[in-house]
Amino acid sequence: MLKQRLLTAAVLAPLLLWGILVLPSQTIAFVFAVIMLMGGWEWSALMGIRSPLRRALYIVLLSLAMWVAGWLSSLDEFLRSGLLFLVVVFWVAVLLWIRHYNNLPADRPERPGSKPSRLLMGVLGIVVLAPPWLALVMIHSAEPIGAYLTVYLMCLVWAADSGAYFAGRRWGKVKLAPRVSPGKSWEGVYGGLATASLLALIASLSFSLGWERAVPFILLSVVTVLFSIVGDLFESMIKRMSGVKDSGQLLPGHGGVLDRFDSLTAAAPVFCAGLVLQGMIN
């Protein structure tokens, strides 16, 4: 499994990073839209929708939501920032939901009744998938370093995930959220944060940030990684409620698109909001 996972990443990651660096923002917006819509297709299955037509209708609805988010963000800078910060509040609420779910009694059945209604699941899918698309487009469109910031965000999330994986395998003892994701440990979290902090330090030097800007940038990177863990745990919780192991089988060794980009769903809006606060993008 690890060999297959590494092979898939070795093929797809460089291709994606190359595209981010060389393609114009309009094309990148389309690429990320396709990725999010593929995630929406998998989310519709987690909702319990089996009809291909109804799943396709959900994709149309998600597409419309992404278009509306992009249109609203183009109207006013304040409105665009407000949308991002509302999404950050949403992910804070998700963290509380995960904590509540994880603290349920061990003998309490996870189903039936624990899964949100199909309507609520549909709304959650839109809130989970549309904002990261908007955030990634905003970051990539920021001149002159938007493409490099987008690559950095990707590498930050992937580096933290890899650091957490290997640290957890080597030292993991204390479970992070055993009811939600039994394989994750606090030691893995520390390993991921250490890896991300090192990468953030290197990036701050590469971007030629003075210490007065480097310190907030590194802190933002750490907070982004913490929220990436929330995004990962949230998808794990939804899959557990839905009674499935993976969201799909598209990516060998990784599962579905959601399994690979779940961390980014929370990380991208948080990172984008932090960049706006720090004045690095508009």
Tens digit of pLDDT for each residue in 109-160?
A: 454 346 788 999 999 999 999 999 999 999 999 988 999 999 999 999 999 9
Q: What is the pLDDT of residue 282?
A: 75
Band (243; pLDDT cuts 50, 70, 90): confident
User: What pTM was estimated for this model as a whole?
Assistant: 0.91
pLDDT value for 205: 93
Distance CA 242, CA 160 (A): 27
The yes-or-no verdict on residue 44 having pLDDT over 90 is yes
Distance of alpha carbon 51 from its chain centroid, rounded? Answer: 27
Please give the average per-residue pLDDT across 174-184, as a whole number: 92
| Distance (Å) of CA 238 to CA 171, 243, 255 | 27, 9, 15
Closest CA to 130 of 65, 178, 188: 65
Q: By the 8 A CB rule, do 66 and 126 touch?
A: no
More confident residue, 231 or 281: 231
How many C-beta atoms surround the C-beta of residue 269 within 10 A?
A: 29
| pLDDT band per the 50, 70, 90 thresholds, residue 210 | confident
- Please determine, for residue 245, whether its predicted confidence score (pLDDT) is greater than 80: no
Reported as a single tens digit per residue, the pLDDT across 48-92 is 899 999 999 999 999 999 999 999 888 878 888 888 999 999 999
pLDDT-derived band at 9 (thresholds 50, 70, 90) equals low
Rounded-to-integer distance, Cα 245 and Cα 220, Å: 32
